A and B are shown apart, each in its own frame.
Chain A
Amino acid sequence: MSHAHEHAHEHQDATPKALSATGKWGMVIDQDLCTGCQACVAACAMENNLSFIGEDDVAYGRSMQWIRIERYWQGEYPKVSMTDYQPMMCQQCGNAPCEPVCPVYASVHSASEDLNVQVYNRCIGTRYCANNCPYQVREFNWRDWPLPEPMSNRLNPDVTVRQRGVMEKCTFCIQRIHTGENTAAAANRDVLDGEVVPACAQACPANAITFGRIDDPTTQVAQLAQDSRGYHQLEEMNTLPRVTYLKGGSKHGSNG
């Protein structure tokens, strides 16, 4: 796997559309397996140094969750009917609506990894990207939430911490992708299927999240993505997301 730099030059002439139809790294979420336990949410927060927001702000909608579990229900207890649990994170769209609207190139498409990357130290906080995300998965640092010593010792050294006024979002654990690629390059081989595991996939007790090279038809994620239960969220928006959801067959939902 070549370095990001060289790749960028390689793809300078290639139209972005050639890369973006299916993507390189992809994810499959099996909604039949998801129990809504939120282990993925906790793991992501620990891996990516997410701040603790506090009750009042969260009550006003300012949660800091790069992956969140969405629940939809109707009826009153005990006659409540629910849909599948819906884990929602950045879909790393091929036609990302969040990218062209940033005035300072803080939200750009990585040519080498075919992911949408958020450049924290470039963001000036216009929040146009968050407005334009149809999945509403971008998180903004509304304040500084400093971690006092010794709690700051829990921070993951592979990931930066973000200042107030900066936008952030799920990166498909790009730090783990790079670690995996570096390891593979050092061993003079390609990345093995299952070698790169983002925090959410690692933590899920039901193995509902699968991750890997979706452009390689032999990987598990590529095969799962072809499942007949598979669909994309808000497909009509033509965002070309890299996350495929597998429809659940839950007794409680409208899927019957």
Chain B
Amino acid sequence: MSENLTLLALFSDVEPASRGIETLHELGLEDKDINVLSGIPLKNTILGRPAAKTNVPRIGMLGALLGLGLGLFFIQGIPLIYPLYVGGQSLFPIPPTLIISFEMAMLGLMGFSFIGVFIESRFPSFEPENYVPEVSDGKIAVFFSCPPDLQNKATGLLSTAGAEVVKPVEAQQL
């Protein structure tokens, strides 16, 4: 039995793309065999796709906690190891504690969210992967892997559903 082929169906708009994906479901393809690329973010329900999960918020919260800890070290820990009186103020002043904790927590939240995007998306990724430049021109590219005996049927049905192009592709270097 020969390997599954990777095919690309290129759609110009949301309507035909969602019909195309429905067609693929009817052909028996599973969600994990289908990969959708688009030029703008599309909510998963628009195209009938499963919800994409992300850990970025959790990574961000971790960063916020680390940042908070760092801020507390700055304003409460430093006077412990380096006690110097200034201006009759307490060694452990409360209002500056709030300020510094806030800033460092925010830095941690945003910094780690940013890093989270890299981690979750495995950026930078220059390995050969399924991609066509038309995606950045607004087209919706549906990559799917199907057994070779289904290829002709899939091509026909997808063209009927409104695909501009249906063809087999190989993973390209960016």
Residues of A within 8 A of B (CB): 12, 15-17, 20, 94-102, 105, 107-109, 111, 240
Specify which chain B residues have a CB less than 8 angstroms from the CB of A16 in the assembled complex.
85, 88-89
B87 touching A111, Cβ below 8 Å? no
Cross-chain pairs A/B with CB under 8 angstroms, 14 sampled: A16-B85, A16-B89, A17-B88, A95-B87, A98-B87, A100-B87, A101-B87, A102-B86, A105-B86, A108-B84, A109-B84, A109-B85, A109-B88, A240-B88
Specify which chain B residues have a CB less than 8 angstroms from the CB of A20 in the assembled complex.
88
Interface string of B56-100 (1 = CB under 8 A from A): 000000000000000000000000001111111110000000000
Specify which chain B residues have a CB less than 8 angstroms from the CB of A12 in the assembled complex.
83
A105 to B90, CA, bound (A): 15
Query: Separation in Å of the B4 CB from the closest CB of chain A?
Result: 63
A98 to B85, CA, bound (A): 12
**A8 closest partner in B (C-beta):** B83
A131 to B86, CA, bound (A): 16
> Other CB < 8 Å A-B pairs besides A99-B87, A105-B84, A108-B86, 6 of them?
A20-B88, A96-B87, A105-B86, A108-B85, A111-B85, A240-B88
By secondary structure, the A interface counts as loop
Query: Separation in Å of the B75 CB from the closest CB of chain A?
Result: 13
B83 touching A99, Cβ below 8 Å? no
A117 to B134, CA, bound (A): 69
B88's partner among A95, A101, A105, A107 (CB-CB below 8 A) is A95
A111 to B88, CA, bound (A): 11
Specify which chain B residues have a CB less than 8 angstroms from the CB of A94 in the assembled complex.
88
**A98 closest partner in B (C-beta):** B87
**A101 closest partner in B (C-beta):** B87
Going nearest first, the 5 A-B pairs with the smallest beta carbon separation are A99-B86, A95-B88, A100-B87, A99-B87, A16-B85
**A114 closest partner in B (C-beta):** B85
**A109 closest partner in B (C-beta):** B85
**B96 closest partner in A (C-beta):** A100
Query: Separation in Å of the B108 CB from the closest CB of chain A?
Result: 22
Specify which chain A residues have a CB less than 8 angstroms from the CB of B86 in the assembled complex.
96, 99-100, 102, 105, 107-109
A234 to B83, CA, bound (A): 29
A98 to B86, CA, bound (A): 8
**B83 closest partner in A (C-beta):** A12
Specify which chain B residues have a CB less than 8 angstroms from the CB of A17 in the assembled complex.
88
A107 to B86, CA, bound (A): 8
Query: Separation in Å of the A118 CB from the closest CB of chain B?
Result: 12
Residue from B86, B88, B89, B90 whose CB has the most chain A CB atoms within 10 Å: B88
Query: Separation in Å of the A139 CB from the closest CB of chain B?
Result: 20
Specify which chain B residues have a CB less than 8 angstroms from the CB of A98 in the assembled complex.
87
A97 touching B84, Cβ below 8 Å? no
Query: Separation in Å of the B78 CB from the closest CB of chain A?
Result: 10
Specify which chain A residues have a CB less than 8 angstroms from the CB of B83 in the assembled complex.
12
Query: Separation in Å of the B17 CB from the closest CB of chain A?
Result: 57
A101 to B96, CA, bound (A): 12
